Structure 1
């Protein structure tokens, strides 16, 4: 009986992992899942990223082991959103880094128990110098408009095996967006299509 239960538990685990992996890979190599958009699309134009744009790597030894608020997990493991917000702040002339921003958000009660950032705390952390917009659904039109109007887009997607991740959209090359990815060591912007096939969710951040 115990052997049957072990096999049943193992089957459930593999089934769940398989489903998660399928979702992640489908988004990259197949049509985007319902409710998402392809990483390539919208108007075709070139929009170069800012020169010398700040890139924060979440596993940087200066802050990689620092615990975020709420869940207490390490920035190196789950700090992609935090790093993207920090990179956006830097582009808007707000001096920060992931460790300092994390400390500020903790003081502002800016994390949920799960460790998710509260977006109104982001605005307060910037002394209301920025405005964050939460969109019901992602759209190429919004991302394109953000680029043209000086706003930045935080984009959520799934890595292989279905791991959720965020990157900062900072430019466009034809129909492919350029991103700064906090998981990568290379600080240069890369085509979004090299990291994913579908965008799941977006946040807009711009100057007030």
Structure 2
């Protein structure tokens, strides 16, 4: 018994291979008592859906003791061998060691490298693919992502500095300001509040923090930021969808229109309550497959958003975009996987008003 290609998360999932894995997973529940109490027998239908992915993850976590299950059954890999009881004998290992080639080295690494290292490689691989992707961006014939400089609000160069006029740090409360900084590196232009000779692509959260203080974009004596005023001080125009309002699903069309016209979108995401935002991120593009790409200032890294949630999660009319647990690596914090966009500010390049 064997499989011809990978089965699981973002894998080939050829029907016959999936059927084999589903049968083995059902058998594993009988063979490994630690799996008892699961969701029951899988339908052997060749469809690698959520239940099959969950069963693979449970097997990797409970039987193989992976700290970071990848939900993938790889031909000849650790999960496959344990599922199929196809463990190489010492004699086989000895024989195979006499004929090393590129493929055998890759196979050996796949079997021997700790799962945590594999997970970190997978994350690095995806970051590179995002960086150099030729995927067509909606409304952008150049087929490249906007030249936005990513920043992390907790960076040691500015994370401990007071945000605005005090009461909190950039690390603790600077998600909106850091997101505005990232947007301004692409859309911004000089205004009277900028330091002499300052160029947009050289902006940093520390510089922007001072610009916004000079323009009184922060409430006097606090770190509370007037986002539209801050955008103006950075040479952009901002239009807020509204504070404390439950938006209709149709509002996502204005996000699409802004991105198509070359703008960016500051998105207020909720991950605790029903619709009150907890954090700000910057949406930079919409791919041709309908996936939205955003940069999270909490990490300075890209993430994906969708118009619908993970399968089995009920959509809500006032939520415009969703994070999906399936689009993140397993080490991603749960709050990030639960991002829901409930408010937004569209950002575009400003007209000449207020510039030197």
Please report the TM-score for the alignment, with normalisation by the length of structure 2. 0.41
Describe the superposition over 1:162-184 as per-residue Cα deviations: whole angstroms up to 9, x where unpaired: 87111000112323311000011
Per the TM alignment, residue 50 of structure 1 is displaced from its structure 2 partner at its CA by 2.0
Q: Which residue of 1 aligns with 2:265?
A: 153
Residue equivalent to 2:212: 105
- Let me know the Cα RMSD of the aligned residues: 2.5
- Aligned partners of 2:231 and 2:347 also within 8 Å: no
Q: Aligned in 2, Cα 1:190/1:106: closer, same or farther, shift over 3 Å?
A: same
For 1:163 and 1:142, how far apart are their aligned partners in 2?
Answer: 19
Distance verdict in 2 for CA 1:141–1:124, change over 3 Å: closer
CA distance 1:197–1:181, shift in 2 (3 Å): closer
CA distance in structure 1 between the partners assigned to 2:231 and 2:149 by the alignment:
20
Distance apart, 1:115 and its partner CA: 2.1
1:201 to 2:343 alignment: yes
Are the counterparts in 2 of residues 49 and 178 from structure 1 also a CA contact under 8 Å? no
Deviation at 1:117, TM superposition (A): 1.2
Structure-2 change in CA distance of 1:81 and 1:49 (3 Å): farther
Secondary structure in structure 2 of the residue aligned to 1:175: coil
User: CA separation in 1, counterparts of 2:285 and 2:272?
Assistant: 24
Contact 2:146–2:284 (Cα < 8 Å) also in 1: no
Aligned-residue offset at 1:53: 3.0
Tell me which residue corresponds to 1:75.
170
Is the radius of gyration larger for structure 1 or structure 2?
A: 2
Change in 2 beyond 3 A, CA 1:163/1:114:
farther
Residue pairs, 1:39-54, within 5 angstroms: 46-47=137-138, 50=145, 53-54=148-149
Match of 1:132 in 2: 238
Structure 1: gaps spanning 5 or more residues: 1-44
Query: Per-residue deviation at 1:120?
Result: 4.4
Which structure has more relative contact order (CA 8 Å, sep 6+)? It is: 1
Distance 1:145 1:61 in 2: 36
User: 1:61 is paired with a residue of what secondary structure?
Assistant: coil
TM-score using structure 1 length: 0.68
Structure 2, gaps ≥5 residues long: 1-135, 189-199, 306-322, 325-335, 351-356
Q: Say if 1:52 and 1:150 are closer, same or farther in 2 by CA, change over 3 A.
A: closer
Aligned residues: 160
- Does residue 1:85 correspond to 2:180, yes or no? yes
1:190 maps to which of 297, 303, 315: 303
What is the CA distance between 1:122 and its match in structure 2? 1.6
Deviations 1:149-172 (A, max 9, x none): 011100011235887111000112
How far residue 59 of structure 1 moved from its aligned partner, in angstroms, is: 0.4
The change in CA–CA distance for 1:159 and 1:71 in structure 2 (over 3 A counts) is: farther
Q: CA deviation at 1:71?
A: 4.3
Whole-Å Cα distance in 2 between the matches of residues 197 and 68 of structure 1? 24
